Structure 1
Amino acid sequence: MNPNRILKEYFGYESFRKGQYELIEAILKGQDVLGIMPTSGGKSLCYQIPALLMEGVTLVISPLISLMKDQVDALRESGISATYLNSTLTAQEQRARLEEIKNGEYKLVYVAPERLNASDFLNILMDIRIPFVAIDESHCISQWGHDFRPSYKEIPRFIAKLNQRPILGAYTATATEEIIKDIKEILKLRRPLEIITGFDRPNLYFGVEKGIDKKKYLLDYLRNHQEHSGIIYCATRKEVESLSKELGDKGFSVSMYHGGMGNEERQRAQDSFIYDQSLIMIATNAFGMGIDKSNVRFVIHYNMPKNIEAYYQEAGRAGRDGENSECILLFSPQDVVKQKYLIEITAMQPERELVVYKNLQTLVDYCHTHDCLRMRLLDYFGESSDRVQCGKCSNCLDHREKKNITLEAKKILSCVYRMKEGFGVTMVANVLHGSKNKKILELGFQQLSTYGIMEDYKTKEIQQMILFLVAEGYLGLTEGKYPLVKLTPQSAAVLKGKEEVYKRQDLTVVESTTEAVVHEDLLKELKVLRGKIALEKHVPPYIIFPDTTLKEMAMYLPESKDELLRIKGIGEVKGETYGEAFLHVIKSYMNENNIEAVVSTLDEGSQMKEKGTDKTKTHLVTYALHQQGLSIEEMAEVRACTENTILNHLEKCFGEGLEIDFHGMVDENIERQILEVIHKVGDEYLKPIKEALPEEISYFDIKKVLLKQRSQQAV
Structure 2
Amino acid sequence: MSEALNILKEVFGYPAFRGQQAEVIAHLANGGDCLVLMPTGGGKSLCYQIPALLRNGVAIVVSPLIALMQNQVTALHEIGVRAAVLNSSLSQQEAMQVEQRLLANQYDLLYVAPERLLTARFLNLIARIPLALFAIDEAHCVSQWGHDFRPEYIQLSILHKRFPEVPRIALTATADMETRKEIIERLGLDIAKIFVSSFDRPNIRYQIVDKTNSRSQLLTFIQAEHPGDAGIVYCLSRKKVEETTLWLKKQGLHAVAYHAGMSMQQRSMNQEKFLREEGVVMVATIAFGMGIDKPDVRFVAHLDLPKSIEGYYQETGRAGRDGQAANAWMAYGLGDVIQLRRMIQESDAQLKFKQVSARKLEAMLSLCETTNCRRIRMLSYFGEIIDTMGCGNCDTCLNPPKVWDATVEVQKAMSCVYRTGQIFGAGHLIDVLRGNLTARVKEWHHDRISTFAIGEKLPEKTWRAIFRQIVALGLLTTDSEGHGALHLTEASRAVLKGQQSVYLRQQTRTERLSGKRSDDDPMPLDSAERYLWEQLRLWRAKIAKEHGVPAYVIFHDATLHELVRLRPQTEEELSQVTGVGARKLDKYGHHLVEILRGS
1:188 corresponds to which residue? 188
CA distance in 2, matches of 1:297, 1:128: 43
- Is 2:562 the counterpart of 1:560? no
Indicate conservation of the 8 Å contact 1:424/1:485, yes or no: no
1:548 corresponds to which residue? 558
Indicate conservation of the 8 Å contact 1:565/1:575, yes or no: yes
Indicate conservation of the 8 Å contact 1:137/1:173, yes or no: yes
Indicate conservation of the 8 Å contact 1:475/1:486, yes or no: yes
1:166 corresponds to which residue? 166
Q: 1:516 aligns with which of 514, 517, 523?
A: 523
Indicate conservation of the 8 Å contact 1:116/1:158, yes or no: no
CA distance in 2, matches of 1:478, 1:4: 57
Q: 1:430 to 1:261 in 2, by over 3 A?
A: closer
Matches within 5 A, 1:339-418: 339-340=340-341, 342-343=343-344, 346-399=347-400, 402-408=403-409
1:633 corresponds to which residue? none
Task: Give, as a single letter, the amino acid of the residue that structure 2 aligns with 1:235.
Answer: L
Indicate conservation of the 8 Å contact 2:34/2:170, yes or no: yes
Task: Give, as a single letter, the amino acid of the residue that structure 1 aligns with 2:301.
Answer: I
What is the CA-CA distance between 1:521 and the residue it aligns to? 1.5
Greater relative contact order (Cα 8 A, min sep 6): structure 1 or 2? 2
Between the two proteins, the alignment pairs up a number of residues equal to 583
Q: 1:490 to 1:397 in 2, by over 3 A?
A: farther
TM-score under structure 1 length normalisation: 0.74
Q: 1:481 to 1:292 in 2, by over 3 A?
A: farther
Q: 1:490 to 1:242 in 2, by over 3 A?
A: same
Q: 1:83 to 1:345 in 2, by over 3 A?
A: farther
What is the CA-CA distance between 1:221 and the residue it aligns to? 2.7
Give structure 2 stretches of 5+ with no counterpart: none
Indicate conservation of the 8 Å contact 1:531/1:541, yes or no: yes
Please state whether the residue corresponding to 2:398 is helix, strand or coil: coil
What is the CA-CA distance between 1:551 and the residue it aligns to? 0.8
Indicate conservation of the 8 Å contact 1:413/1:487, yes or no: no
What is the CA-CA distance between 1:491 and the residue it aligns to? 6.6
Please state whether the residue corresponding to 1:239 is helix, strand or coil: helix
CA deviation digits over 1:485-514, x for unaligned, max 9? 54669978x9568x7836322352124655
Greater mean deviation of Cα atoms: 337-346 or 354-363: 337-346
CA distance in 1, matches of 2:55, 2:333: 52
Matches within 5 A, 1:189-268: 189-224=189-224, 225-268=226-269
1:111 corresponds to which residue? 112
What is the CA-CA distance between 1:289 and the residue it aligns to? 1.0
Q: 2:593 aligns with which of 583, 596, 604?
A: 583
CA distance in 1, matches of 2:580, 2:358: 46
- Is 2:33 the counterpart of 1:32? yes
CA distance in 1, matches of 2:211, 2:251: 24
What is the CA-CA distance between 1:4 and the residue it aligns to? 1.5
CA distance in 1, matches of 2:478, 2:197: 33
Indicate conservation of the 8 Å contact 1:354/1:480, yes or no: no
Indicate conservation of the 8 Å contact 2:69/2:85, yes or no: yes
Greater mean deviation of Cα atoms: 352-361 or 376-385: 352-361
Q: 1:495 to 1:345 in 2, by over 3 A?
A: closer
What is the CA-CA distance between 1:348 and the residue it aligns to? 2.1
1:89 corresponds to which residue? 90
CA deviation digits over 1:259-299, x for unaligned, max 9? 11111111111111111155211111111111100101011
Indicate conservation of the 8 Å contact 1:365/1:468, yes or no: no
What is the CA-CA distance between 1:477 and the residue it aligns to? 6.2
CA distance in 2, matches of 1:91, 1:222: 45
Indicate conservation of the 8 Å contact 1:474/1:487, yes or no: no
Matches within 5 A, 1:15-30: 15-30=16-31
CA distance in 2, matches of 1:138, 1:485: 41
Q: 1:459 to 1:80 in 2, by over 3 A?
A: same
Give structure 1 stretches of 5+ with no counterpart: 590-715
CA deviation digits over 1:617-645, x for unaligned, max 9? xxxxxxxxxxxxxxxxxxxxxxxxxxxxx
Please state whether the residue corresponding to 1:296 is helix, strand or coil: coil
Indicate conservation of the 8 Å contact 1:405/1:503, yes or no: no
CA distance in 1, matches of 2:562, 2:99: 41
Q: 1:411 to 1:534 in 2, by over 3 A?
A: same
Q: 1:214 to 1:463 in 2, by over 3 A?
A: closer
What is the CA-CA distance between 1:207 and the residue it aligns to? 0.7
Q: 1:467 to 1:239 in 2, by over 3 A?
A: closer
Q: 1:541 to 1:481 in 2, by over 3 A?
A: farther
CA deviation digits over 1:340-390, x for unaligned, max 9? 555466542222123223323332333233222212211222222232322
Indicate conservation of the 8 Å contact 1:214/1:330, yes or no: yes
CA distance in 1, matches of 2:192, 2:137: 16
TM-score under structure 2 length normalisation: 0.87
CA deviation digits over 1:33-82, x for unaligned, max 9? 11101110111111111111111111111110111111111111112111
Task: Give, as a single letter, the amino acid of the residue that structure 1 aligns with 2:349.
Answer: M
- Is 2:528 the counterpart of 1:527? no
What is the CA-CA distance between 1:444 and the residue it aligns to? 14
Indicate conservation of the 8 Å contact 1:275/1:541, yes or no: yes
Please state whether the residue corresponding to 2:298 is helix, strand or coil: strand
Q: Among the aligned pairs, what percent are the same residue?
A: 37
Please state whether the residue corresponding to 1:396 is helix, strand or coil: helix
Q: 1:586 to 1:405 in 2, by over 3 A?
A: same
Matches within 5 A, 1:641-652: none
CA distance in 2, matches of 1:379, 1:70: 33
Please state whether the residue corresponding to 2:199 is helix, strand or coil: coil
RMSD: 3.5
- Is 2:68 the counterpart of 1:67? yes
Indicate conservation of the 8 Å contact 1:429/1:459, yes or no: no
Indicate conservation of the 8 Å contact 2:206/2:374, yes or no: yes
Please state whether the residue corresponding to 1:42 is helix, strand or coil: coil
CA deviation digits over 1:675-707, x for unaligned, max 9? xxxxxxxxxxxxxxxxxxxxxxxxxxxxxxxxx
